[in-house]
Amino acid sequence: MMDSHGIDIHIADEQNDYQVDVSKWHKLALNVLIAQGVKGETELSIIYVDEPTIATLNEKFLGHDGPTDVLSFPIEDLVMPSGRFPDSGGTSPTWDPADDYEAPMLLGDVVICPAVAKRNAPEHAGTYEAELALLLVHGILHILGMDHEQDDEAELMEAREQDMLSRFFKRGDPSGA
């Protein structure tokens, strides 16, 4: 779904364990990206998966056993706007600057497991919906380069999460985000 800001968010619900309101989470993701200064042709994927799928991803990419609640896969190797790699220099006889176009910035993928979110909700965000909101914001902030490995980074990231949630996710509101 491309919005008027040029941000394209692809959401896939590939699990059947718990209901996921795709339009609600699209709206929250869009608001967070805009608030974080993302603009122009940009793409983000959000995928809701079951426990076996996220456990496989967790093992394969992080080396951790079992399912987790959210994984973020940022795309770090950006291609030049013309589709050329940085070392091509633009001096190729076949390259014409008129052919240049603004390629979309591919942010990456956020993968969320609703079953784990449902299980963790009472001890984390309180409700299933609030937990999904927290995981989505958390995953997006990781995609945008935030981390929580160091205490000061963790505090900054948590503060940003709470700011985004207080601005864009209303608890108890039936429409959610």
CATH number of the CATH domain containing 163: 3.40.390.30
Q: How many domains does the chain have?
A: 1
**Residue 37 located in a structural domain:** yes
Question: Tokens 């940003």 map to which residue?
Answer: 160
* pLDDT score recorded for residue 93: 45
Q: Which residues contact 106 (CB under 8 A, 6 or more apart)?
A: 42, 43, 75, 78
Domain that holds residue 71: 7-87+100-168
Please report the pLDDT score of residue 152 as a whole number.
81
Domain for residue 54, yes or no?
yes
In a domain, 92, yes or no: no
Element (H, E) at 158: helix 151-168
Residue 121 is assigned to a structural domain of this protein: yes
Report pTM: 0.80
**Structure token pair of residue 69:** 């609640």
51-74 burial: b if 16+ Cβ within 10 Å, else e:
bebbbebbeeeeeeeebbbbbbbe
Per-residue pLDDT at 147:
79
How far apart are alpha carbons 105 and 39 in whole angstroms?
9
pLDDT of residue 175: 45
Based on its alpha-carbon atoms, the radius of gyration of the chain, rounded to whole angstroms, reads 18
pLDDT at 104: 60
Residue 133 belongs to some domain of the structure: yes
Q: Tens-of-pLDDT digits for all 177 residues of the chain?
A: 545 568 999 999 999 999 999 999 999 999 999 999 888 889 999 999 999 999 999 999 989 999 999 999 998 644 434 343 444 444 444 444 444 445 567 899 999 999 999 999 999 889 999 999 999 999 999 999 887 777 788 889 899 999 999 999 976 544 444
Burial label, 102 (beta-carbon count in 10 A; 0-12, 13-18, 19+): exposed
Element holding 42 (H helix, E strand): strand 42-48
Classify residue 56: in a domain, yes or no.
Answer: yes
In a domain, 2, yes or no: no
Please answer whether residues 69 and 116 qualify as being in contact, where contact means their C-beta atoms are separated by less than 8 angstroms.
yes
Tokens of 172: 């108890």
| 174 inside domain | no
